Structure 1
Amino acid sequence: MTDLAPYAAWDDLSSSAREDLTARVVVVGAESTGKTTLTQDLVKHYRARGGIWKNTLWVSEFGRDYTVRKIAELGISFDDDAEFRSADWTSKDFAVIALEQQRLENAAASAGSPVLFCDTDALATQIWERRYLGNESTAARDALPTLPPRALYLLTDHRDVMFTQDGIRDGEQFRPTMTQWFVDELRLHGERGQFVRGNRAQRLAECVTLIDEVLAERAAQL
């Protein structure tokens, strides 16, 4: 394992310093590609290291909770057609989701270990706004034109995970397009990213290696 000894004094830092220095690792990808599973596996792995790492946190996908609440408010069954549900989205919805996702991320960064795992982020919200409302709708981007620096993006490959409908997902046919949109957007912004492929164990092992390399590089900032 990479030597992460420089982080031993992490708990002595102020919350604002930790918010600035935390390595934000964001897991993104199309629907039903294992994002949440990977995020939770990474959290479990780092917490098991003990010490400062036992307080490793993760930020769940606020947009999912927002979607479930929105559906409930409309009185629509989870068995109804996804296109019908998605037709009610407005630009304002995506601005609200992006702002709250970022607020939750910042709060967690100030309170956890040196690494924070994010199951999506505001950049992903911008991509989903494009999916539902088209290129002309930019409310999420306008609400958050600049995001805090990300240490690493992990993009889950849709080809390795069987699509499972949970009642609110768009549909399997959209996954290849969404995957490419994430690739294009990360390249456009010059973000450090990695395509994550393989089975569950392979994905975890590959990501831990990458994240430890990132943490070792960032240790010099402490």
Structure 2
Amino acid sequence: MIPKIAVVGPESTGKSTMSEYLAAHYNTIAVPEYSREYCANLVGECTFQDEINMFHGQLALEKTLLPLANKILICDTTFLTVKIWSEEVFGNAPQEVLDELPRHPYDFYLLLDIDLPWQDDPLRNFPTKRQYFMNIWHRELQALNADYTVISGLGQDRYDNAVKAVDGFINRQLSEPEF
């Protein structure tokens, strides 16, 4: 089984750039964030049905790209984002997302810290709520009993910290006895 490494966090923390960097570093593939392209093509405001569509799109993209992975799969965010955004914007999350969360785990999460400066982007909405969302990410990952590490730092230090965390995860996996 190929381990899935999820790169997650609040807006403007470098998730896409980090995912591409890690994929190149480990000579594997990164699953892009499905919702970025989806939202870029939306006409009007995002609806609850759009969130459900993004959930299905992210899962389908991961399933399509998993066979192309080399030993690990890097995922630029996960459908957990759909839960977080839906609860924030609509007051609740789609039931099918809630049902799927425990059945679709990732092996290791890199939670990118909010220590990077905010970068404006038409698809970003909450420049003043980064700490709020960082707290939500911690809570959600803890609720899943997820194995995760917070990645901080600027420039190459941030990338080096991520590689160190992934290497540590891989080494723990290799040292665990198989049953």
TM-score, length-normalised on structure 1?
0.73
Aligned to 1:64: 36
- The Cα offsets for residues 132-176 of structure 1, whole Å up to 9 and x where unpaired, read as 111x34345246344433121111111x21111112210311211
Among all aligned residue pairs of Structure 1 and Structure 2, give the percentage whose two residues are the same amino acid. Answer: 26
Within 1, Cα distance between the matches of 2:81 and 2:10? 10
Query: What root-mean-square deviation, in Å, do the aligned CA atoms of Structure 1 and Structure 2 show?
Result: 2.0
Do residues 175 (structure 1) and 96 (structure 2) align? no
Question: Is 1:37 aligned to 2:9, yes or no?
Answer: no
Residues 32, 164 of structure 1: 8 Å contact kept: yes
Larger Rg: 1
Q: What SS does the aligned partner of 1:110 have?
A: helix
Corresponding pairs, count: 177
Flag the structure with more relative contact order, 1 or 2, with Cα contacts below 8 A and sequence separation at least 6.
1
More helix by share: 1
Q: Which runs of structure 2 are paired with 1:169-208 in the superposition (5 Å)?
A: 169-208=124-163
CA deviation profile, 1:64-102 (whole Å, cap 9, x unmatched)? 1111111xx34xxxxxxxxxxxxx332221111111101
Q: Could you list the per-position Cα deviations for residues 13-43 of structure 1 after superposition, in whole angstroms to 9, with x for gaps in the alignment?
A: xxxxxxxx11111011111111112111111
- Matching residue within 15, 20, 26 for 1:46: 26
Residue 55 of structure 2, aligned match among 98, 103, 116: 98
Q: Which runs of 5+ in 2 are unaligned?
A: none
Q: Which residue of 2 aligns with 1:125?
A: 82
Q: Is the CA contact (8 Å cut-off) linking 1:154 and 1:193 kept in structure 2?
A: yes
Matches within 5 A, 1:4-19: none
Secondary structure in 1 aligned to 2:26?
Answer: helix
Structure 1 range deviating more: 144-153 or 186-195? 144-153
Aligned mates of 1:107, 1:193 — CA distance in 2: 25
